[in-house]
């Protein structure tokens, strides 16, 4: 018991020091991101290869958003994230990478602006930065991490913890099964959401349609940070 008490005290001590590490990540990220201007986050799989049509769509999406004056934020890694940053580079806009330290998959892609390359140890700090500085969220096909980011944004919008922002899912065939389950089971059977919640996002196949949806939204909403 005495040994267990000592271990517990060590844990409490480490927890106290970790608060300062968390604070430092927030302070640095807030300071650097506040200087960039309006951005759109593009989420998607790290495993998507360059010859995949979704990779090419992500490049096109970033280029067209750049032409409208938006910077591009990605998770900083390979796959769809790389494609987003490549499109940002092609479009000569801010190319931001919010990289997370992982034991696999994640490494910097070469298309991030050096001054906009941020590294995080904590997923929750990184997600706050995604949400705070994104004017819109584009969800390309991806895995658990992509779903986590998408539903984080939707939950915060639904609960009015952040301002309303466009959330666009790209790839109707990819997302159709999930969307049918949300409507048929989550809404119609279990009533765990309201019908209005289905209006919090849009599903498209066309990159032009996604960009138009984002642009139309900001004809009547401001481009300020989320909170």
Residue 142 DSSP class = -
How many residues are given for the chain? Answer: 227
Give dist(CA 171, CA 204) in Å, integer.
6
How many helices (H) and strands (E) the chain has is answered by 7, 7
Torsion of CA 63, 64, 69, 72, to 10 degrees: -50
What is the spatial distance between Cα 31 and Cα 160, in angstroms, rounded to a whole number? 25
Cβ contact 95:118 at 8 Å? no
SS3 at position 219: coil
Q: Give residues with Cβ within 8 angstroms of 200, minimum separation 6.
A: 154, 157, 158, 167
What is the per-residue pLDDT for 72?
A: 98
pLDDT at 15: 76
Q: What is the pLDDT of residue 213?
A: 98
What tokens does 30 get? Answer: 């807030």
CA distance 212 to 206: 10
**Domains of the chain in sequence order:** 2-217 (3.40.50.450)
DSSP output for 15-61: HHHHHHHHHHHHHHHHHHHTTT-SEEEEE--TT--TTSHHHHHHHHH
Quote the pTM value: 0.91
Q: How many CB atoms lie within 10 A of CB 108?
A: 17
Q: By C-alpha distance, which of 126, 12, 145, 15 is closest to 78?
A: 145
DSSP conformation class of 108: -
The predicted structure's pLDDT at residue 151? 98
pLDDT of residue 226: 73
- Identify any residues that bridge with 74 across adjacent strands, giving them in sequence order: 97
Q: What is the pLDDT along the chain (227 residues), one digit of tens a residue?
A: 555 555 656 655 677 788 999 999 999 999 999 999 999 999 999 999 999 999 999 999 999 999 999 999 999 999 999 999 999 999 999 999 999 877 665 578 999 999 999 999 999 999 999 999 999 999 999 999 999 999 999 999 999 999 999 999 999 999 999 999 999 999 999 999 999 999 999 999 999 999 999 999 999 988 877 77
HSE on the CB side for 28, CA within 13 Å?
A: 16
Identify any residues that bridge with 43 across adjacent strands, giving them in sequence order: 139
């Amino acid at each position: 018991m005495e040994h267990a008490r000592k271990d517990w005290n060590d844990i409490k001590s480490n927890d106290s020091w970790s608060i300062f590490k968390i604070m430092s990540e927030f302070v640095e990220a807030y300071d650097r991101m506040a200087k960039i201007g309006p951005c759109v986050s593009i989420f998607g799989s790290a495993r998507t290869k360059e010859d995949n049509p979704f990779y090419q769509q992500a490049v096109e999406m970033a280029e067209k958003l750049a032409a409208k004056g938006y910077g591009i934020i990605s998770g900083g890694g390979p796959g769809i994230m790389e494609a987003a940053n490549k499109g940002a580079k092609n479009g000569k806009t801010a190319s931001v990478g919010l990289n997370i330290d992982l034991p696999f998959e994640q490494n910097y892609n070469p298309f991030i602006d050096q001054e906009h390359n941020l590294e995080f140890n904590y997923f929750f700090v990184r997600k706050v930065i995604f949400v705070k500085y994104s004017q819109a969220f584009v969800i390309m096909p991806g895995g658990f991490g992509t779903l986590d980011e998408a539903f984080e944004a939707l939950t915060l919008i639904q609960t009015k913890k952040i301002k309303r922002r466009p959330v666009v899912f790209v790839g109707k065939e990819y997302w159709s099964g999930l969307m049918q389950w949300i409507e048929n089971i989550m809404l119609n059977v279990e009533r765990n959401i309201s019908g209005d919640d289905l209006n919090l996002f849009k599903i498209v196949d066309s990159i032009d349609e996604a960009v138009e949806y984002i642009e139309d939204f900001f004809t009547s909403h401001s481009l300020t940070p989320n909170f």
